[in-house]
Amino acid sequence: MTDVIHLLPDHVANQIAAGEVVQRPASVIKELLENSIDAGATNIKVLIKEAGKTLIQVTDNGKGMSLTDARLCFERHATSKINSAEDLFSLKTKGFRGEALASIAAIAHVELKTMQNDDEVGTCIKIEGSEVVSQDVCVTPEGTTLCVKNLFYNIPARRNFLKSDTVELRHIIDEFQRVALAHPGIQFSLFHNGSELFQLPETNLRQRIVNIFGGKTNEKLVPVEEDTEIVKVSGFVGKPEFAKKSRGEQFFFVNDRFIKSPYLNHAVTAAFEGLLKDKAYPSYFLYLQVDPKSIDINIHPTKTEIKFDDEHSLYTILRSAIKHSLGQFNVAPVLDFDRDATLDTPYEFSNKGPVPPKVEVDPNFNPFQNERSGGYSSSGFRKEKSSGSWESLYTDFDQKDFSTPSAINQVEFESDEVTGNLFGQSEEKSSGSTTFQLNKKYIVSTLKSGILVIDQHRAHSRILYEELLKNITVTSAVSQQLLFPLRLQFSTNEMELLKENEESLEQTGFIFGNFSKDSVEITGIPTLISESEVAILLEQLLSDLENEVPGSSFSQIDILAKSLAKGMAVKSGTLLNSEEQQNIVNSLFACKESTLSPYNRPIFITLTVDELDKKFM
């Protein structure tokens, strides 16, 4: 019987490893940035074209590599970070597996230029699909420059799985931000197709957060600081009033490595208990320093998941530290039993006794002096009424003649306002209206065969959704001009999304003025929303666009229309008059699809007379 087990060729093994390490262009940037940081770089520049599909270039001023190291770094499992398995539990570096460069070289055209400080010339190596094409000396500054071109050129199936440039760029920005936030002491820059996206100077942590997420972020941050034997917690959390509808600005770093941990995220949410609105998520930038021996970061190829030895203690410490910070900076109410120095007795009064207040009495004061002019009887009662000022209240009645009916009609009488009747039905319903509102949430209308119950929010969402789609694709919507333009602040990523969808938003009624790096001016808004709702509506829209990650222009327009319709639609709990109710009913059944909301939820139900009869059996 023939043997069936054989060794895989190196290039096949490298391509398989690339499937785990390199999922998209953002994965390449993450690995190259971490290598530059491990090399001691203080200035890292990232240049990409077509969202990394055509070119990814990372240049740093680190210590560089020798000729031997430059050639050996592309071999599989070649690393300078560890020597034995025990080193996995005392890691101080980002990378350690030795798979990144080998995997990247297996599925792209790679060019490496590197030089050490002591060398006169550098080394240039070109590799295509794990095969070394050339190796020469070159003139290059100290440090390393690595170019990755034509990603997945030899694996077309993997390349077809890549999304649009917009989506891939968003993933690149996410990875770039995570690395930059973990290392505020390093200067970073990011360029895409020749335009600058980020220019982050060397600074402190707070300023790094502000540089990435915009100037308005500074006022939202509450510092968190706690040092224990188990963990040292530092960083910032966002104030509850600035909580967002998405989880975008939530970052955990353990030993300067970005991680994802639902368990620790729950600890943060628990610390904000009672301070957040429904379905709102707090922002946080939290840095945990723990003993490397107490964690295992070798459980996932992307190293974003970490196993802790004592998660329960971390949970408790983290929640307590955040609660303490929220109370310390008067964000959350606390019970403070400390002595208030402002209530202390001043030093000069410390030896003086209390002095009783003086009460002065006027012995000649008589409150009845003015009334004696009317005279009293011997029994002490008034003989006649005194003509006080209260009689002037009736002077108008003396001057009017009430003998005629027209004069009586001029008299106004106070009466109790009728606020409702037994069944809570307004006066409009008694005038023959065919609809009424139930619990400020449902519109109930009559049918020939029974009754119709409509969810007012879902119905209005469907109406607006079809209207917005028509406006975006066919005609422009009516816009209302603002007397004073609005200036709204957004992060760099959100600004990019806003610019991409500017044309579609203008079709719905928005009018944009000047765009800056982290803010936008709005001079006109759709007629269906108020000025106070604009910021909330756009924030929700950007969150939906980020979370849905559309891959084509049509789906992006669809998400935009859905999000705007949801934000502009009348909410549950809003009181509608009879005319508004009837308008929603008529407009709903004029829609192309009247049974389902834009998010495929049922809009109405019907109850037939037969079904009602069965309820009484």
422 CB neighbour count, 10 Å cutoff: 5
pLDDT at residue number 427: 42
Sign of CA dihedral 418, 419, 425, 426: positive
pLDDT at residue number 602: 93
Which region among 265-274, 492-501, 543-552, 599-608 has the lowest average model confidence (pLDDT)?
543-552
According to DSSP, the β-strands at 450-455 and 442-446 are: antiparallel
pLDDT for 334 beyond 60: no
**pLDDT tens digit sequence for 93-105:** 666 666 788 888 8
pLDDT at residue number 420: 45
> pLDDT class for 125, splitting at 50, 70, 90?
very high
Sign of CA dihedral 566, 568, 571, 577: negative
**pLDDT tens digit sequence for 539-564:** 888 877 776 655 555 677 788 888 88
pLDDT at residue number 596: 92
**pLDDT tens digit sequence for 468-483:** 888 887 777 788 888 8
Average pLDDT over residues 36-49: 92
pLDDT for 371 beyond 80: no
Tokens 């998520």 sit at which residue?
Answer: 281
Would you give the distance in Å from CA 477 to the centre of its chain? 28
pLDDT for 514 beyond 70: yes
pLDDT at residue number 332: 65
Q: What percent of the chain has pLDDT over 90?
A: 26
Torsion of CA 553, 556, 558, 564, to 10 degrees: -140
> Do the first three CATH levels of 10-200 and 205-328 match, i.e. the same topology?
no
Rg (CA), the chain: 37
Identity of the amino acid at 599: Y
pLDDT for 335 beyond 50: yes
Torsion of CA 150, 155, 159, 160, to 10 degrees: 140
pLDDT for 397 beyond 70: no
Q: Tell which wins on pLDDT, 538 or 387.
A: 538
With beta carbons less than 8 A apart as the criterion, state whether 177 and 161 touch: no
pLDDT for 422 beyond 50: no
| Cα–Cα distance measured from residue 37 to residue 258, given in angstroms and rounded to the nearest whole number | 14
Would you give the distance in Å from CA 459 to the centre of its chain? 27
Burial of residue 533 (number of CB atoms within 10 Å: 0-12, 13-18, 19+)? middle
| Cα–Cα distance measured from residue 489 to residue 492, given in angstroms and rounded to the nearest whole number | 10
**pLDDT tens digit sequence for 64-79:** 888 888 888 888 766 6
Tokens 């093994």 sit at which residue?
Answer: 13
110 CB neighbour count, 10 Å cutoff: 25
pLDDT at residue number 425: 44
Its CATH architecture, for the domain 10-200, is 2-Layer Sandwich (3.30)
CATH number of the structural domain 442-605:
3.30.1370.100
> pLDDT class for 423, splitting at 50, 70, 90?
very low
With beta carbons less than 8 A apart as the criterion, state whether 456 and 572 touch: yes
Using alpha carbons, list the distances in angstroms from residue 230 to 242, 266, 289, 291, 567.
31, 19, 9, 8, 45
Q: Please, what is the average pLDDT of the chain?
A: 80
**pLDDT tens digit sequence for 433-473:** 578 899 889 999 988 888 999 999 999 999 999 988 888 87
Closest of 40, 45, 44 to residue 92, by C-alpha: 40
Using alpha carbons, list the distances in angstroms from residue 126 to 15, 78, 129, 133.
18, 18, 10, 5
Closest of 498, 587, 518, 502 to residue 216, by C-alpha: 518
The CATH topology of domain 205-328 is Ribosomal Protein S5; domain 2 (3.30.230)
Domains of the chain, residue spans: 10-200, 205-328, 442-605
**pLDDT tens digit sequence for 199-210:** 999 999 999 999
With beta carbons less than 8 A apart as the criterion, state whether 502 and 516 touch: no
Closest of 393, 390, 394 to residue 402, by C-alpha: 394
pLDDT for 378 beyond 50: no
Using alpha carbons, list the distances in angstroms from residue 53 to 11, 109, 550.
21, 11, 18
| Cα–Cα distance measured from residue 443 to residue 81, given in angstroms and rounded to the nearest whole number | 67
